[in-house]
Structure 1
Amino acid sequence: MALFVKQLEHKLHDNLYTNIKLLTHFYPTTKSFDEVFKKNMFVKSNKAAFQHVVYYLFTILSPELTKEKITWPLYDVKLESAFRTEVIAFINHINAEYPHANIPNLMASHLMSPGGYKFAKFMLKLSKLVMYEHLRKNEGVEEMLGPVRPHKNSSVTNIVTRNVKARTLLVEKEVEKIMDGFHATCEKAARDAEDLVKEQDKVEAELRTVSKRLKEKKKQMVDRSMVEGLVTSVEINDEMAALERMKKLSEKCAELLVFLSSDKPVLEFKKDDLMMLDSVNKTTSDEISLHHLFNSLNVTVANKSLDMPIFSVKELDDMDKLIDDLSEKYLQFNHKISTTKNELVELSENFSPHVDDVVRSRKLPMIVLTSTDNV
């Protein structure tokens, strides 16, 4: 029996905490309330929790009347005593205003040590009423059953109880049906979510692959554009040079065409600036006919060819070998001169910083070398 009472009392405290906790999701609380609101807060006497929780429930049930009838906040013992008296009067008003409330009547002295089973039952009734009125006013619940209030005639109480149980059974079946549908929807949503996650992973993997390929493609395009730009620049320079050569060639062709198209195709020359052919030197004019020039050139070449000595194959080979030997000696000599020059330059650089010191110590006049003194 004692175990049953203990379990009943434990369940009573849990229901009280659950009701108030649900209300806190809809109605804001204060920091002082949060500090005292805990599970099993009324197992033992808890004056601070009683004051804050009762005022919180009154404020939800009737905020304007609470502000008018209840003293708050409580700063001293006198205000706390007035608060207890006002709570008893407010509970009487609630029982008269809400016939289905059925909140137990307490003496003000019972509130001086608010705790234990009887006080927790009182608070549970108050929390049920506040919860019921919240659902009726704010949640739009139709045909809502009020708390069962015991009747003097036990038969009436039993009939009301059976009606409530029957109605509760219907509600439970409806709730069970709704819950089954809810669970089925949740399971389907979970499966859909898993499919979406897998699809997302697949898309992300494909996106990473495409991004990687895009970066590589961009890099290839950049490298290619740089190479093509360089090649194009070289090609353009080559083409510009070719065009320039063609331009000069065209200008020369134009000059030649003008010359050949003239009635008197002759070349102008200056005897003082050119080494003339013998036949050309005989002319007294400053103009030479092309025909005359080529004939003279032909005769001069023929005459010079007769003056040239005729070498045998062996002589030519000897001369070729001699030229190779001389070339090798020239290269060696040139290398030796370059090495000697570098040594002289290094010696000069090492010797230069000490020239002034030597001159001052020896008191010798400094000789300035000019270009004519160099060896």
Structure 2
Amino acid sequence: MEEFKLYKETESQIHEALYDNLSLLSAFYPMTEKFSLVFRRDMFVKNNKAAFHEVIYYLLQILDPVKAGEIFSSWPLIDLKEEPKFRNDLLAYVNTLNTVYPNTDIPKCQASSLISPGGFNFAFFMLKISQLVIFEHLRQNGQTPLSQIKGNHQISSPIKIQEENLKKETMYIESITSELFEEFKKKLISSRESGLEITEQIKMSDQDICTKRKKLKNDKVEFIKKFPKYPPLASLENEIMQLKSQIDKIINLSKTFQLNENLLKWLCDTNVTLEYNEEAFAASEDVAIIITSKKELDLCQYFQALLVFLEKKSVEFQRPIDFEALKLTRADIQSQIKKNEDILKKFKIEGERINKILDYLSENN
């Protein structure tokens, strides 16, 4: 975020410096009407072909009118077909300025930059040309660069005073621009180094992921070798659910058997005591009609009511109760309970085996 902020500040200062340079030159070389229409501080923030044509024509007319006449032989540029030739001639000339004028340090420019003239690099390119034009103006008018002036000089001419101020402003702007541009290049280099470090870290992470994937694949192979008959997880879950269902059935069967066992003991017992509890006495409507008194137990009425009750329930019994069959059923239930206990033990052993396998998997992952 700080680097982006610095970038935008530097770009704004470059546009401001270019605007100031052109404003100073306009004091000696008046602008045309078309130039004034496109001239503003932010004219090269975005692509602006019209402003580019006017500014470069203005600067080259000041720097070298003869060469400008050759490049702008068809000025103003109206026919779009003439623009490619104009761009090529202009680049060929501008790229020789560093040789013709030593220490100019004008950056190289590509033809693609002139098709859509605008942005940071293009504005810096135009700024360096404007600085060259200002220095050449000062040199041709007999002024010594500020870096070579020694002592104090009295300048009485208003034009000389303006030129001196122009030189000071130009040198100041150039120094600030150079410092900011150098700082920006340092930040850019630092950002590139950080980007390379991040790229290297990503590369190492990718290698680590590949290694982990190979290890996981090998672990799966080893696991299959160690447990070749181990069922799939979905099948194992189904088996566990079936075992749980069987266990629930066994528990319910055990409870039912316990109740039947208690009933069987009561039926087989010869020492049964008949008790009468008035408060707990309850009878159906058919039996209640026979019972006339609940205060005392009348055996005649009791057996008569019992007979009615048994006749009513006899329809529900498909066959008489066979006590020998009950004994055999009891033996079968006990045998089934024994088998279920064995199944539960095997299930417990299998559960321990499954836990060991899961522990092995978690340790290797």
Q: Which has the larger radius of gyration?
A: 1
TM-score normalised by structure 2 residue count: 0.39
Q: TM-score, normalization: structure 1? A: 0.38
Q: Which has the higher contact order (CA 8 A, sep 6+)?
A: 2
